[in-house]
């Protein structure tokens, strides 16, 4: 049964201060700020179809592997250094592995049809794991020198070969290597001082040119890099605050960025490989930790510092829903890659150490347009 059949007309926020005796009491015994409330829904919001508990720490990163004919899995990386491999049929951990000496795991991904796992930790290492035949061993690693929070990015360039981009030892530095050889490809450093690199995305354009990389920086700048020629193709200012996260849809050449401010800024990459700013959305409460676009290019999900997951129609950025379940900051969101579109899931990971799973706009996807 479809879990979401409502649309958000707008995000509203009303705050009223205390009066009289209540005002005196609040001045003497101040309370924590009341979270913003989103209203305007025609029907009550849904609840998660189920939740996963036991991660033991904040959920910094999520990754689905749901290929046809295999057990659907969800990988999570926690702030306590553990990586859980969740079986989505039993809704329990199939395996828990530790490879970053208790340091926070900030990114996970899989290659080779799920036989290999790549994880990035704040121990300044990226680990390559062998998961074949039930194994869970680190078979190789890369020293990054970075203790920041910028997640790595990976791109398959040919059968059995990938490009891996990750933040380097210098705050503005992005390094790219080829896997599995670990051969250096290039180092990307902007000429001007933009501050720490905050987020990156690798992709291969259909035009036939070499791979390109989008990077967001601490000063709010968004850069488009030509990896082959080690050159900047375009640069725009998307936010006045640090650019915390970005999502990019290579089929539409459209992206969106989030920050510590209350604005989501959308943009496109035009035929001349120039970034063109488009529409923006103002949120009730500031702060977005992560965003993702569903594979069918219909939905955008954002992970809010205000404990909420927001859904938008990707084509027009139409606000659709606010998912309220978590009791602390939502740090990560991911859409599943089920081959059967009706089984697709949205996962959200929070600082409250729980993962919520949602079924959204699967049976009536046209409602998201």
Residues contacting residue 319 through CB under 8 Å, at least 6 positions apart: 7, 8, 9, 10, 11, 281, 310, 311, 312
Q: What is the mean pLDDT of the chain?
A: 88
248 and 292 together in one domain: yes
C-alpha 349/C-alpha 331 separation (Å) is: 6
Looking at beta carbons, which pairs linking 327-332 to residues 24 or more positions away fall under 8 Å?
Answer: 327/352, 328/352, 329/287, 329/289, 329/303, 329/304, 329/305, 330/289, 330/303, 330/304, 330/305, 331/58, 331/59, 331/60, 331/289, 331/290, 331/303, 332/59, 332/60, 332/61, 332/62, 332/289, 332/290, 332/303
124 and 251 together in one domain: no
C-alpha 106/C-alpha 63 separation (Å) is: 11
At 148-206, the pLDDT tens digits run 999 999 999 999 999 999 999 999 999 999 999 999 999 999 998 999 999 999 999 98
What is the residue range of 267's domain?
A: 41-80+144-368
In a domain, 341, yes or no: yes
358 and 317 together in one domain: yes
pLDDT number for residue 46: 80
170 and 139 together in one domain: no
SS3 track for 337-356: CCCCHHHCCEEEEECCCEEE
Are 275 and 235 within 8 A, CB to CB?
Answer: yes
Q: Which of 124, 143, 162 is the last residue of a domain?
A: 143
Are 75 and 83 within 8 A, CB to CB?
Answer: yes
75 and 86 together in one domain: no
In a domain, 3, yes or no: no
226 and 341 together in one domain: yes
Burial class (CB in 10 A: 0-12, 13-18, 19+), 269: buried
For residue 365, the 8-state DSSP code is G
C-alpha 86/C-alpha 99 separation (Å) is: 17
151 and 264 together in one domain: yes
pLDDT number for residue 112: 87
In a domain, 87, yes or no: yes
100 and 203 together in one domain: no
Split into its structural domains, the chain has a count of: 2
For residue 271, the 8-state DSSP code is T
In a domain, 302, yes or no: yes
311 and 358 together in one domain: yes
Q: Which of 89, 116, 143 is the last residue of a domain?
A: 143
C-alpha 178/C-alpha 212 separation (Å) is: 15
pTM: 0.86
Q: List the CATH number of the domain containing 57.
A: 2.130.10.10
In a domain, 170, yes or no: yes
The arithmetic mean of pLDDT across residues 254-272, rounded, is 96
- Strand arrangement, sheet containing 263-269: 243-249, 254-259, 263-269, 275-282
In a domain, 4, yes or no: no
In a domain, 346, yes or no: yes
For the cut 80, the answer to whether the pLDDT of residue 110 exceeds it is yes
Phi, psi of 323 (to 5 degrees): -100, 115
168 and 232 together in one domain: yes
Nearest to 107 by CA among 290, 249, 356, 266: 290
C-alpha 105/C-alpha 149 separation (Å) is: 10
pLDDT number for residue 4: 41
Q: Which of 98, 120, 143 is the last residue of a domain?
A: 143
Alpha carbons within 13 angstroms on the beta-carbon side of residue 146 total: 25
C-alpha 291/C-alpha 311 separation (Å) is: 10
In a domain, 127, yes or no: yes
134 and 276 together in one domain: no
176 and 211 together in one domain: yes
At 112-144, the pLDDT tens digits run 888 999 999 999 999 999 998 888 899 999 999
């Amino acid at each position: 049964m479809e879990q979401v059949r409502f649309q958000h007309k707008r995000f509203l926020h009303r705050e009223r201060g205390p009066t009289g005796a209540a005002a005196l009491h609040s001045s003497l015994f101040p309370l924590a700020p009341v979270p913003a409330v989103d209203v305007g829904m025609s029907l009550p919001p849904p609840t998660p179809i189920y939740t996963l508990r036991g991660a033991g720490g904040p959920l910094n990163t999520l990754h689905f592997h749901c290929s046809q004919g295999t057990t659907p899995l969800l990988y999570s990386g926690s702030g306590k250094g553990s990586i859980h491999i969740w079986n989505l049929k039993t809704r329990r951990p199939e395996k828990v592995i530790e490879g970053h000496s208790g340091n926070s795991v900030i990114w996970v991904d899989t290659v080779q049809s799920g036989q290999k796992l790549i994880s990035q930790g704040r121990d300044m290492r990226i680990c390559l794991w062998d998961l074949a035949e039930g194994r869970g061993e680190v078979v190789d690693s890369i020293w990054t020198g970075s203790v920041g929070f910028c997640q790595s990015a990976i791109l398959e360039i040919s059968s059995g070969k990938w490009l891996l981009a990750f933040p380097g030892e210098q705050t503005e530095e992005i390094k790219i290597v080829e896997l599995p050889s670990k051969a250096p490809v290039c180092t990307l450093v902007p000429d001007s001082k933009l501050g720490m690199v905050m987020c990156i995305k690798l992709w291969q354009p259909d035009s036939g040119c070499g791979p390109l990389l989008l990077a967001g920086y601490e000063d709010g700048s968004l850069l488009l890099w030509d990896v082959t020629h080690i050159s900047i193709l375009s640069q725009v200012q998307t936010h006045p605050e640090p650019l915390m996260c970005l999502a990019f849809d290579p089929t539409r050449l459209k992206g969106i960025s989030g920050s510590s401010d209350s604005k989501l800024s959308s943009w496109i990459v035009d035929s001349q490989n120039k970034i063109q700013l488009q529409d923006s959305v103002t949120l009730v409460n500031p702060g977005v930790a992560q965003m993702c676009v569903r594979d069918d290019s219909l939905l955008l999900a954002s992970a809010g510092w205000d404990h909420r997951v927001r859904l938008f129609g990707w084509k027009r950025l139409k606000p659709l829903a606010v998912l309220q379940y978590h009791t602390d900051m939502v740090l990560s969101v991911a859409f599943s890659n089920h081959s059967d579109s009706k089984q697709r899931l949205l996962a959200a990971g929070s600082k409250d150490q729980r993962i919520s799973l949602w079924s959204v706009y699967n049976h009536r996807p046209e409602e998201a347009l």
